[in-house]
Structures are given as C-alpha cells and as structure tokens.
C-alpha cells in the first residue's frame, strides 16, 4: 500500500518556529504537552512570513488557529472558543474534528501534535492508524509509546458519519486489505485506532520526559 494519507495524518514533530529564538531542531527538547482536546477549526490567521534572506527557505511558520473546543480530555481548557498558535505551512481541512495535543505557554496555548478524529458507532472519538508507527512518531522524538499497539482498538464506523480518508481514491490503490487498512473500489478505511479518552494515559511516559516551553 502506498502512503496516500501521509499528509492527512501528519504528526507535527518539534521544529524550529519562524520568528522565535529557539535552539536548532536536532538539539531541541520537545514541547511540553499539557492538554488533549477535540476541536473544530473555525478560522486561520497566518502571521507575516519572516525574511531570512535568499538562502533560507521556510517550510512552515507561525499561524493563529481559531477553535471551537468540543471535548477536553486533559488540561485546564474550557469548551468553546479558543485561539492557539501553531507551526504550519497550509490550512487543515475544517470539515472534520481535530484531536489536538497542546502546550501551555505564558498566556496562550501552542500546538504540539494533531490528528484527525473519527466519531465511531459507539460515540467515542478515535485516532485511526493507517500503518505501523515509524521511529519519528515514537518516543522520544514523537508522542507515541513504543508499546502503542496495546492501545489499538477495532474501529466500528457509523454509516451516517463522514470520515477523513473515506471516499479518497488513488490510481495505484488496488482492492485488498492488510492488518491496517481495507481498500474497496479505491475507497480506504482504517481498521484500528486509539480512543482519544486513552490518550492521557498513553502520554504519561512522554509527559515525564524533559520538555521545554516557548519564550
């Protein structure tokens, strides 16, 4: 299977933030994770792109995201409107809810990681997995514990709900399935995922590591 959904399920790792004085990314400790929420994006506002000269190409810079927070699973965030900072290169799709791991800064919140969330047939928000996690997604670089597979649960889809990835077709996607996904007529569904309610416990090891906050 090809990685048709790499852009859809991208995990944002620690990178240098445009406009902030930070250490080189290779030496930087990860941002602290203080909250887990499910939210819909209601607006985007990107800050001016810094000019570092002709020899520097920026792949991402700081944006402000307006959110409608639907559920809070960890952290002192209230449901409703919230504006956060994020390092991005393009807007996210807004028709699906996002599962956001956030870091508390001096007087604001900043995005650490994000996934698209699915509401399953039982009413639980889940984060689908479309292939095995790679090294950069696992501790200490990423947020997932090395035993992440013990947290995976089968996803029961509801026919009334729309899902990221469903209805996406690729010319090279043949019908079939493996342990992660099922392809039928070019339509792809993910078989297993994490319940968002389990993420705080999954994050225990990551939150115990040394981390930093933006100045």
More confident residue, 55 or 128: 128
* Two tokens, residue 71: 């559920």
Taking 90 as the threshold, does the pLDDT of residue 6 lie above it? Answer: no
CB atoms within 10 A of CB 64: 14
| 9-37 as b/e: b if 16+ CB within 10 A | bebbebebbbeeebeeeeeeebbbbbbbb
**Using alpha carbons only, what angle is made at residue 145 by residues 139 and 146, rounded to the nearest 5 degrees?**
90
CA distance 109 to 106: 8
Q: Are 151 and 198 in contact (CB under 8 A)?
A: yes
Report the range of poorest mean pLDDT among 53-62, 73-82, 113-122, 128-137: 53-62
User: Which of 86-95, 134-143, 150-159, 195-204: highest mean pLDDT?
Assistant: 195-204
C-alpha distances out from residue 155 to 55, 97, 121, 131, 199, Å? 46, 17, 8, 14, 16
Sign of CA dihedral 10, 108, 126, 169: negative
Average pLDDT score over residue span 133-147: 95
Average pLDDT score over residue span 36-65: 85
Q: CATH topology for 25-208?
A: OB fold (Dihydrolipoamide Acetyltransferase, E2P) (2.40.50)
Taking 80 as the threshold, does the pLDDT of residue 171 lie above it? Answer: no
Taking 60 as the threshold, does the pLDDT of residue 160 lie above it? Answer: yes
Q: Are 60 and 19 in contact (CB under 8 A)?
A: no
Q: Which residues contact 171 (CB under 8 A, 6 or more apart)?
A: none
Report the pLDDT value the prediction gives residue 7, as an integer from 0 to 100. 32
* Two tokens, residue 136: 């950069």
Mean per-residue pLDDT of the chain: 82
Taking 50 as the threshold, does the pLDDT of residue 4 lie above it? Answer: no
Closest CA to 88 of 112, 66, 60, 67: 60
pLDDT in tens, 62-94: 899 999 999 999 999 999 999 999 998 888 878
C-alpha distances out from residue 117 to 31, 37, 122, 174, Å? 22, 10, 14, 25
């Amino acid at each position: 299977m090809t990685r048709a959904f790499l852009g859809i399920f991208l995990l944002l790792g620690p990178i240098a933030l445009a406009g902030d004085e930070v250490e080189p990314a290779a030496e930087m400790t990860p941002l602290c994770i203080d909250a887990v929420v499910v939210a819909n994006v209601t607006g985007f506002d990107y800050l001016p792109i810094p000019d570092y000269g002709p020899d520097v190409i920026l792949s991402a810079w700081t944006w402000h995201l307006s959110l409608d927070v639907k559920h809070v699973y960890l952290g002192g965030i209230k449901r409703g409107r919230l504006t956060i900072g994020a390092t991005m290169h393009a807007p996210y799709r807004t028709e699906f809810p996002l599962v956001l791991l956030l870091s508390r800064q001096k007087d604001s919140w900043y995005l650490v990681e994000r996934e698209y969330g699915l509401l399953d047939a039982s009413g639980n928000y889940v984060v689908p997995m479309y292939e095995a996690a790679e090294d950069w997604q696992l501790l200490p670089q990423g947020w997932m514990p090395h035993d992440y597979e013990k947290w995976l649960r089968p996803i029961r889809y509801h026919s009334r709900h729309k899902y990221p990835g469903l209805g996406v077709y690729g010319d090279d996607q043949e019908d079939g399935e493996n342990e992660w996904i099922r392809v039928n007529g070019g339509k792809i569904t993910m078989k297993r995922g994490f319940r968002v309610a389990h993420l705080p416990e999954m994050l225990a090891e990551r939150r115990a590591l040394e981390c930093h906050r933006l100045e």
